[in-house]
Structure 1
Amino acid sequence: MIDPFAWLNASVCDSVFVMPPILAAAESENSSLVLAGVLLSLVVIYLASKIGGEICARLDLPPVLGELLAGVAIGVSALHLLVFPAGGTDASGSLITQMLQMSAHLSPQALDATFAAQSEVISVLAEIGVVILLFEIGLESDLKELLRVGPQAAIVACVGVALPFALGTAGLMTIFQVPAIPAIFAGAALTATSIGITARVLSELQRLSSKEGQIIIGAAVLDDVLGIIVLAVVAGLAKTGEVQVGNIVYLVVSAAVFLVGSLWLGLLLNPFLLSLVNELKTRGQLLIVSLIFAFVLSYVAVVIQLEAILGAFAAGLILADTEKRKELKEQVEPIADMLVPIFFVVVGARTDVSVLNPFVASNREGLIMAAFLIVVAIVGKVVTGFTLWGQPELNKLAIGVGMIPRGEVGLVFAAFGATSGVLSESLQAAIVVMVIFTTFIAPPLLRVVFSREESAEALAVEVPAAEGLLEDPVGDRHQS
């Protein structure tokens, strides 16, 4: 059976297993420098996230956009403070590693090992950050409301996967004469939705508990599952040229069993977890027991070839249905404030915006295809909200816009194309440009569509009030 993420050395699962030998290599010179590099990287990340977030907040833009842009500024596209080996960069391309070299005079081998170990630790912290984010989002969500909007979320998710995939694949093959397998791969990259980015923006806008917010979150979770299945299919095509039906069936069944089974079992275990928390006398008993529960579900999700964030989200949903919900949410928020910015800054830092330079001849063909992919990426998701017929009270545009960002999920597809050799350089650049554009345009666009709804609601309240004021004098004259 093909593991869809086995190719990516920098992925969460692999980073856990490759870290010990890397750390062992670095230890031959001075393993404490790995810690020093990690601490210095965190200083840079936190400073960048705060500066970027504050600037965007003062411009009335979502702070998460500032964190992403700050990551771009300190990453491979600009300052080279936070760079990663997965992007083809070595220790000489990292300013933080060069600072360590000036103070410790490491050998080239030890310097590379230190750089790799430091990068792996930051990558793992970023992935733990998104796990905590989805756990927090689960706590803020309402399981009953999610189940109520489940059919609507399923429609949005299915249309949001099928439509971009079909349009993208067909367009690349007919307009740009791209061969079938690369076109299918690029079409698959259009199916993703970054639940982390959208959920963060909805939380900042205080729209997470709205009906639109719950539909978006439910659809994004399903998109994540469907994205894993699509990636497995594409992995099979890239490796053998044929689809392995058994692998697809396994992923579909395991995803369904995991989501339904974890929620059912979790709700049964809730009384036991609460009684355990009440019996413990040490500090942090609620937080630690809850994190253990979230990490266990995340671990199970990874083992069955799903994503850790699905387990964390399920754990949050289960614990949200308890009397400890408010108290737990207050305790999780400081941890989220510490770890979640790492994830968004790292996503930005890994993004190479040099592919947007039209003066580089090799980028031009990719930019033309990117323009096509961007249109398909936006239209293919925006129309999903309008597939929900007969519900005029819904902000359907907001639902569609909330599904636009591809984020880290899209970058996974792009990285797979780079390592597997399926994509040409121009098509690979086009996918990266599409991911960059949809990731950065979605947060401000989501704020705009919700702001328009608020303005319309305010106007609807003001008009009847004004009409009443106009009618009162007439009524007084009749009375007199």
Structure 2
Amino acid sequence: MLSLLSNVLSAPEIDLFAVKPILAVVAAEQAPILLAGVLLSLVIIYIASKIGAEISLYLNLPPVLGELVGGVVVGISALQTIAFADSGVPATDSGVMIVLQWIYQLSPPVTQSIFESQSEIISVLAELGVIILLFEIGLESDLRQLKQVGVQAVVVACVGVAAPFAAGTVGLMAIFHVAAIPAIFAGAALTATSIGITSKVLAEIGQLKSTEGQIIVGAAVIDDVLGIIVLAVVASLAKTGSVDVGNVLYLIVSATVFLVGAVLLGGLFDRGFVAIVENLKTRGSIIVPAFSFAFLMAFLSNAIHLEAILGAFAAGLVLDETDARNELDALIKPVADLFVPIFFVTVGARADLRVLNPTIPANQAGLTIAIFLIVVAVVGKLITGWVVFGKPNINRLAIGVGMIPRGEVGLVFAGIGAASGAIDKPLQVAIILMVIVTTFLAPPFLRIAFDRHASSNSPIDDRTPKIK
């Protein structure tokens, strides 16, 4: 079929009406193979997540850490069964694609095409997983308590962005003589906090509803908004050498209006949601309207150039105030159990631990800078626990540790920086290594921080899952 298409496209006179059906046939022939690749990838992801979570739980560690490690094992750092085309990995490095190529006798061009499509589908499913996770976290959060710790959360977020950004940028320029724009880009990568990883750990150890947990979640949400604004600034700086003030102001205003508006309008939606649920008689009368609202909020958030997870989190906060929240909590968990592991395993699978190999010349300069970035990344977030005021018995260490993981957010900064040419290979390696270390440090140390300091301010809520 590919040779036929090649002949048609190379003909001196091309009949577009003849080409379109041939392209459709090629796509139709690849569709079942693409589906097979996605299904096999999901099987590997689910097995890796479950084995990793069970081992982690057996070792009295948060299961999410096991899911991340499971992703590393099946990812490009170890078995290479799961790989992603957007990471620059060829199809021949993916175990899934090797199996498909052997079964269906695929040519290299077709294999690469399917690999790119399969990678994109798994990435979209992972994004859907983190959207569902944040919707679930919003449902399990207490809006009233979030309001009570709102000022503290804002302070924690601002310090957690400003401190590592300033220290990272100045340190790279003064110590390592990095140029201004690359240093600013690397400093910006230090500002992010992965709300997905932190919130999942808090839920697993039963601290999501605690005062510390609410401060961390609130600060992580604000931190995400600030991170988007910082990214917009440094991306403009890298492309044009100047900052688009109008775009920055737009992001600030739209983020504020969206989050505040979602909370204020929540009371109006509560009554409408309950009325809809009471009038639906078929299966899914609660969960379908709930997910429709969550996805709509995620869409609106994404449409105004914010993160979709912010909209999902806001939707969860709104629905947490409805009378149907207890039943919705129980219904959403099986859905989350299917989609959320895809997110965590793919985060681990994308972590290329080969950057730790000092025998590769391209890694050596990056490793030295990475040590500096890791120290700044950890200390810059740890200090946030000590800026909380009006809470004398608060677990400050837990708050600081909870803000440490960069996760997929840091990888986004590294990817955009490399694509724009703002950062070179050693600095990119350093940023990736910083992301990997902070992502894997947070889950066990967050558990330790809470175990060593049992906060008297932690409310007990039977809706919050706990590790047995």
Name the CA distance, whole Å, in 1 between partners of 2:47 and 2:158.
39
Name the CA distance, whole Å, in 1 between partners of 2:80 and 2:91.
11
Distance 1:362 1:113, change over 3 A: closer
Name the CA distance, whole Å, in 2 between partners of 1:124 and 1:274.
31
Q: How does 1:156-171 map to 2 (within 5 A)?
A: 156-171=156-171
Q: SS of the counterpart of 2:80?
A: coil
Structure 2 partner of 1:391? 391
1:32-67 alpha-carbon deviations (Å, 9 max, x no partner): 011111110000000000111111111111111111
1:345-380 alpha-carbon deviations (Å, 9 max, x no partner): 001111111111122222121111111111110110
Name the CA distance, whole Å, in 2 between partners of 1:191 and 1:51.
32
- Where in structure 1 do 4 or more consecutive aligned residues deviate above 3 Å? 23-26
Q: SS of the counterpart of 1:208?
A: coil
Structure 2 partner of 1:92? 92
Q: How does 1:250-261 map to 2 (within 5 A)?
A: 250-261=250-261
Q: SS of the counterpart of 2:453?
A: helix
Whether the 8 Å CA contact 1:26–1:113 is kept in 2: the answer is no
Structure 1 partner of 2:324? 324
Whether the 8 Å CA contact 1:150–1:218 is kept in 2: the answer is yes
Distance 1:260 1:359, change over 3 A: same
Name the CA distance, whole Å, in 2 between partners of 1:269 and 1:413.
36
Name the CA distance, whole Å, in 2 between partners of 1:162 and 1:446.
22
Whether the 8 Å CA contact 1:130–1:340 is kept in 2: the answer is yes
Structure 2 partner of 1:142? 142
Structure 2 partner of 1:267? 267
Structure 1 partner of 2:128? 128
1:448-478 alpha-carbon deviations (Å, 9 max, x no partner): 0101013x97xxxxxxxxxxxxxxxxxxxxx
Name the CA distance, whole Å, in 1 between partners of 2:37 and 2:430.
33
Deviates more, 1:261-270 or 1:25-34: 25-34
Match for 1:148: what amino acid? Q
Structure 1 partner of 2:208? 208
- What percent identity do the matched residue pairs reach? 60
Structure 2 partner of 1:5? none
Match for 2:351: what amino acid? T
Q: How does 1:330-349 map to 2 (within 5 A)?
A: 330-349=330-349
Name the CA distance, whole Å, in 1 between partners of 2:419 and 2:400.
32
Is 1:410 aligned with 2:410? yes
Deviates more, 1:156-165 or 1:412-421: 412-421
Name the CA distance, whole Å, in 1 between partners of 2:199 and 2:24.
38
TM-score between the two structures when normalised by the length of structure 2 = 0.91
Match for 1:42: what amino acid? L
Name the CA distance, whole Å, in 2 between partners of 1:391 and 1:405.
24
1:73-128 alpha-carbon deviations (Å, 9 max, x no partner): 11111111110111111222211111111111123332222111111111111000
Name the CA distance, whole Å, in 2 between partners of 1:342 and 1:387.
35
Is 1:309 aligned with 2:324? no
State how many pairs are aligned: 434
Is 1:376 aligned with 2:379? no
- Provide structure 2 residue ranges, at least 5 long, that are not aligned to the other structure: 1-22, 457-468
Match for 1:353: what amino acid? L
1:109-161 alpha-carbon deviations (Å, 9 max, x no partner): 32222111111111111000000000000000011110110000000000000
Is 1:361 aligned with 2:361? yes
Name the CA distance, whole Å, in 1 between partners of 2:221 and 2:70.
27
Structure 1 partner of 2:7? none
Name the CA distance, whole Å, in 1 between partners of 2:42 and 2:427.
34
Distance 1:25 1:249, change over 3 A: farther
Structure 2 partner of 1:111? 111
Name the CA distance, whole Å, in 2 between partners of 1:24 and 1:423.
40
Structure 1 partner of 2:102? 102
Structure 2 partner of 1:71? 71
Q: SS of the counterpart of 2:206?
A: coil
Structure 2 partner of 1:18? none
Q: SS of the counterpart of 2:265?
A: helix
Tell me by how many angstroms 1:330 deviates: 0.2
Whether the 8 Å CA contact 2:139–2:320 is kept in 1: the answer is yes
Distance 1:24 1:200, change over 3 A: farther
Q: SS of the counterpart of 1:39?
A: helix
Name the CA distance, whole Å, in 2 between partners of 1:39 and 1:104.
15
The CA RMSD measured in Å over matched residues stands at 1.3
Name the CA distance, whole Å, in 2 between partners of 1:130 and 1:99.
28
TM-score between the two structures when normalised by the length of structure 1 = 0.89
Structure 2 partner of 1:476? none
Whether the 8 Å CA contact 2:152–2:389 is kept in 1: the answer is no
Match for 1:71: what amino acid? G
Whether the 8 Å CA contact 1:188–1:234 is kept in 2: the answer is yes
Name the CA distance, whole Å, in 1 between partners of 2:27 and 2:263.
43
Structure 2 partner of 1:186? 186
Tell me by how many angstroms 1:283 deviates: 0.7
Q: How does 1:9-88 map to 2 (within 5 A)?
A: 27-88=27-88
Name the CA distance, whole Å, in 2 between partners of 1:376 and 1:283.
51
Whether the 8 Å CA contact 1:28–1:110 is kept in 2: the answer is no
Name the CA distance, whole Å, in 2 between partners of 1:25 and 1:296.
34
Tell me by how many angstroms 1:390 deviates: 4.3
Name the CA distance, whole Å, in 2 between partners of 1:370 and 1:261.
40
Structure 2 partner of 1:463? none
Is 1:276 aligned with 2:254? no
Structure 2 partner of 1:468? none
Whether the 8 Å CA contact 2:141–2:209 is kept in 1: the answer is yes
Name the CA distance, whole Å, in 2 between partners of 1:65 and 1:325.
28
Match for 1:286: what amino acid? I
Distance 1:25 1:226, change over 3 A: farther
Name the CA distance, whole Å, in 1 between partners of 2:116 and 2:105.
17
